[in-house]
Chain A
């Protein structure tokens, strides 16, 4: 049986560290070991500026006593330092004292991303050629393209999680990504166009995607916006295109369905399970098992298998997302959503791949039904205040809809809405579907990779933060 990280830490050491964590009578002890290798190639200003690589390895030890969590971490994986970290975590958890428990865990089968071509095995010259190609294609697209940057990155993250409940799990995660940003220069100033892809797979990513097409998309977006007019202000009908629109659900309700926020009264969706919280057209799923997607993993950072969790079904709130801590408090199972940025961080409830199930209208029908509105083809990031439910997200490619047709391009602006209200105001969901670009979700200072996706959808009323009357 192959054991990932078997070269880094011995099973007997894991047992002794967990026993040390419990030595003062704590309820729970856990060791999380992580080894991450990253590499990146950066092109900017017409030149491959640099290649970078990094290596991070360490362990975080968590001890829980009642409602209190003690946590310590170390980059030194010697048994002495691990035991010292376990003691520091136990001290911080202020355990009641007494009661020695020895822990024995048994290694389980290794899991991991499906990787055909490990990025570490790829010649660096091939990586350089990819970013060079993106630069050439984008600059050739139009003479108004004044600047191009491109980045290819990949990482391999191996984790081992063992705890005093007998969990011993490992995962071997590989992610590969590529991004191009173009600047177009015109009479109205500078505009930007961006395109990115990323999957939990190896270098076979570039068999699936054509770098020429990615560079062309980025260049075209920048050029189109040179002609853009200021976005309107006030409330409008908004049609959101497939793919990147997933960020709307991520912000409008995804965070509000994280059980840690629900518990603290910091979610507009607290106490709503079983209730109609959205239009009957809305079925929302968070699914960490989607092979190859950016938010995919075999086990979460608490050793629980990833799972497919229906959050909202036909508008009715089915369940929240859970990590181990919140599951223990409510005496239920974790939904496999316990994640952390690195061994230096405590796990908490996080999304994985969050998507809206397709409906039955064609995208053309959805747009044709709008007399005057805005079509958002590409969304950037967003932010939500989960307590009030108010959220914003940026539109990086948008157009006016006039008499049922997509017309003039619009400059960038932000959309603002209230999550619970917007969910009720979705009046059309398309039969198309795409996953959006790779995302990094930030919460309490920790960033983790997430995916999201939507079909075309329509919201009857959202506020557009433009500057035109």
Chain B
């Protein structure tokens, strides 16, 4: 890459910022289509529009620079309890009408369900949360490129044992979403986001170790480039010399990033569709002790400090705070309007969706309460025989959310008598989601807001099977 002020660059960034992301305009489009609802027909239209850029650098040069603009519409029709859905990657008026016609045709073939239907307004007022940072749109292409190059440079300079960077990337997006329905719902939102990610490579004789790190925020200025670089470097070099451990029972120590992954998997089994269709190990267990009493977590999209915060859910209802586990006792589940009707509880404002698919209940902003276990270092000091986890592999193939079986690849450092010891790899940890919750032995005081939208402290989970060499 050459100069930082080439005329072509500034013109391209002007092009990007001249694109108008306007949720009010989208809502007009959605409302107009909803006005075509026929008597007895429920109609819901979701519209989206976003722009994004992705910069990938390699060897100090831009490897690729992507300017993207996406539109989408999703139309849901329910007639006589029969649901049909159609979507299109455009807001072209002719195709909007075609999409509505397709959704209607599809509804003719579904089987009737008295509970099928769009969300009905429930009178709960939405919390106004500002997810928009105008700065994203005025940032020049060169500033974005510089961030990715700086990140790569800091990783390469971070330690002599770093042999390369597979990818260093900056990305951002600005998007608007609007939803209108024949039940009178009109909801809209706009949000921006920015991210940095990097994967560092470290030489380890005939092997290569890797360390990945990621940060996300609503605007680039809130990204912690130094932290991303330093974490990737330390993760890669701390694995140098990793070997396969002997199989044994250990405690897992999870920093907030890894805790978010594990608690997120578990919370995913508390969604209303899994509960109603009896596809969760936690069906019919409200009021029971399902976790260690030190554990409490809620889904709280109304917390403006969470990156998962939102004012409305995917059906246009107000987002709200939903307790899931308090002092180890299961409090309830997350519902969209359909599953909430079937459960008899109503929606918890937990529908998630894009324009390309139907809404379903999901997590917005999971929040685990801070405990009394202290910092990550203090938690490590309290473990006799354990593993500080750096990464988990195969979460999609090794976790069964129906049976709860949990078996995933792990890399990290052994903890022996409260001290960090040798690095390990090519091994797995096994348990079940149900047991992981009960086996939480310490909850840290270091609650952190993470880019995934989860806010959580570090956790220690005892009695997990580490599987490696047969010892």
Contacts and interface: CB of A to CB of B under 8 A. Distances in A.
Interface of A: 24, 41, 44-45, 47-58, 66-76, 84-85, 87-95, 124-125, 127-128, 146-147, 183, 185, 189-192, 225, 231, 233-236, 261, 264-266, 268, 344, 346, 380-383, 385, 387-394, 411-414, 416-418, 444, 463-467, 469
A276 to B, nearest CB: 15
B278 A146 contact: yes
Interface in B375-423: 393-394, 396-398, 400, 402-405, 407-409, 411
Contacts of B111: 47-49
A67 B61 contact: yes
B277 A463 contact: no
Contacts of B208: 265-266, 268, 387-388
Given A68-B63, A75-B70, A385 B89 contact: no
Given A45-B277, A190-B279, A394-B394, A385 B210 contact: yes
Given A185-B278, A234-B469, A414-B397, A88 B427 contact: no
Interface stretch (B78-86, B289-297, B329-337, B452-460): B78-86
Q: Most chain-A CB neighbours within 10 Å: which of B11, B407, B430? A: B407
> What class of interface size applies to chain B in its complex with A?
35 or more
A57 to B, nearest CB: 7
A261 B201 CA distance: 12
Given A52-B106, A94-B6, A75 B166 contact: no
Q: Which of A47, A48, A73, A463 is the most central at the interface, judged by chain B CB atoms within 10 Å of its CB?
A: A463
B69 interface: yes
A91 B8 contact: yes
B90 interface: yes
B440 to A, nearest CB: 17
B428 A383 contact: no
B161 interface: no
B22 interface: no
Give the one of A75, A90, A192 with max B CB within 10 A.
A75
Given A55-B89, A56-B88, A465-B398, A88 B15 contact: yes
Contact of A465 (B98, B163, B407): B407
Contacts of A45: 276-277
Nearest to A46: B111
A390 B426 contact: yes
Contact of B65 (A70, A76, A235): A70
Contacts of B106: 50-53, 124
B262 interface: no
A103 to B, nearest CB: 20
Nearest to B398: A414
A392 B397 contact: yes
A181 B439 CA distance: 30
Nearest to B246: A234
B397 A235 contact: no
30 contacts: A48-B111, A49-B110, A53-B87, A56-B88, A57-B89, A58-B89, A69-B62, A92-B66, A93-B65, A94-B6, A94-B9, A128-B109, A147-B277, A147-B279, A189-B403, A190-B281, A190-B403, A191-B403, A236-B470, A265-B166, A266-B201, A380-B397, A387-B210, A388-B210, A390-B426, A414-B409, A416-B427, A416-B428, A463-B469, A467-B465
Given A68-B65, A411-B405, 11 more contacts: A45-B276, A51-B84, A54-B86, A56-B90, A91-B8, A94-B1, A381-B394, A388-B425, A411-B403, A413-B428, A466-B467
A203 to B, nearest CB: 16
B68 A72 contact: yes
B431 interface: yes
Interface in B58-105: 58-59, 61-71, 83-90, 92, 95, 98-99, 102-103, 105
A390 B102 contact: no
B393 A385 contact: yes
B65 A387 contact: no
Interface of B: 1-2, 6, 8-9, 11-12, 15-16, 58-59, 61-71, 83-90, 92, 95, 98-99, 102-103, 105-111, 113, 141, 163-164, 166-167, 199, 201, 207-210, 244, 247, 276-279, 281, 356-358, 393-394, 396-398, 400, 402-405, 407-409, 411, 425-432, 465-471
Contacts of B247: 233-234, 469
B102 A190 contact: no
Contacts of B398: 392, 394, 412-414, 465
A38 B199 CA distance: 35
B71 A75 contact: yes
B397 A393 contact: yes
Given A390-B426, A394-B398, A414-B409, A192 B64 contact: no
A291 B397 CA distance: 28
Contacts of A412: 398, 400, 403, 405, 407
Contacts of A88: 12, 15-16, 67
A52 B405 CA distance: 32
Nearest to B61: A67
A56 B6 CA distance: 35
A192 B278 contact: no
B427 A463 contact: yes
A95 to B, nearest CB: 8
Contacts of B105: 124
Contacts of A266: 164, 166, 199, 201, 208, 210
B409 A264 contact: no
B64 A68 contact: yes
A68 B66 CA distance: 11
Contact of B63 (A67, A147, A192, A417): A67
A264 B407 contact: no
Nearest to B394: A392
B281 A53 contact: no
B124 to A, nearest CB: 27
A468 B202 CA distance: 34
A126 to B, nearest CB: 10
A93 B67 CA distance: 11
A124 B277 contact: no
B109 A125 contact: yes
B397 A381 contact: yes
Contacts of A469: 247
B109 A71 contact: no
A425 B428 CA distance: 20
B407 A390 contact: no
A422 to B, nearest CB: 10
A73 B278 contact: no
A393 B408 CA distance: 9
Contacts of A50: 83-85, 106-107, 110, 358
A418 B393 CA distance: 13
Contacts of A87: 12, 15
B279 A382 contact: no
B64 A70 contact: yes
Contacts of B70: 75, 344
A26 B433 CA distance: 54
A346 to B, nearest CB: 6
B258 to A, nearest CB: 16
